[in-house]
Amino acid sequence: MEKRTKIMKNIILQHWSGQLQSWAVKCKNSVEKYAEQSGADYEFLEDYPMGDFFKNKNTKPFLVVQKIHMISEKYDDYDNVLMLDMDMLATKHFDNIFDYEGIGRLHKKGMKAAHLSKNGRKWPKLYKQGFPMFFGNCVKFGRQDRIAMRKCLDRDILNKGMSDDGLPPNDEIIMHYLMHTAGILKDKKVLELPHDRFCDLPEEAHPKATFLHYCGSRKNQIR
């Protein structure tokens, strides 16, 4: 695992719309505490920070799209922006994610062919077979990468990328498309974070993982 040594200015973001459920409150509190431990700022985004991005704002995927706000110029003073799902829980096993190179965990199955993931099946116009695609629960981008991606955020193209059944693209496929269009990965030697410690499900993670992803019914395990 490759660690950074330079002191940097970092921020952790989370997004939610509506009232927080008890499991989400516990996760949020744990991430806020983690941000303090790591010397990072923390911001909780609510509702629609991206604004009126798509016409249909009543679908769940539109809320997921809001995580793309992490590349906003608002955060250009930060060396790194980390976006975490609300069902990411920080454990007692602290390790500073900002000390490591890498963006997140690769969706290797989905990268192989369009039909192997929802991202490729639903939004084929934005899908680039074989090009890196990351799961959306834990993604970290540096300043220059965020700026480059933002320059490629063509809203007209993304609107045209709507699925056949009218769903707006989610954060994973938009990031995949923007990374490819901006060419930010060509000189990177390390793409993945140590995902067993920062990005994995409870049953897959390292025994001393720093973050655990309680997606789906696993949220019932959060006490």
Domains and CATH numbers, the chain: 10-221 (3.90.550.10)
pLDDT means per 10 residues, the chain with 223 residues, are 68 94 96 98 91 60 82 97 97 98 97 96 96 98 98 85 87 96 96 97 97 95 86
Residue that is written with structure tokens 């190179």 in the block: 101
**Residue appearing with tokens 């989370």:** 14
pLDDT at 49: 84
Cα–Cα dist 29/208, whole Å: 19
Return the closest-CA partner of residue 48 out of 78, 75, 68.
68
- Exposure b/e, 58-90, CB count within 10 A at least 16 = b: eeebbbbbbbbbbbeeebeebbbbbbbbbbbbb
Query: What integer pLDDT is reported at residue 33 of this predicted model?
Result: 98
- Is there a contact between 153 and 147 (Cβ–Cβ < 8 Å)? no
pLDDT at 55: 54
Give pTM, 2 decimals: 0.93
pLDDT at 159: 79
Apex CA 141: angle with CA 124 and CA 212, to 5°?
85
Q: How crowded is the C-beta side of 58, counted as CA atoms within 13 Å?
A: 0
**Could you tell me which residues are beta bridge partners of residue 109?**
none
pLDDT at residue number 124: 96
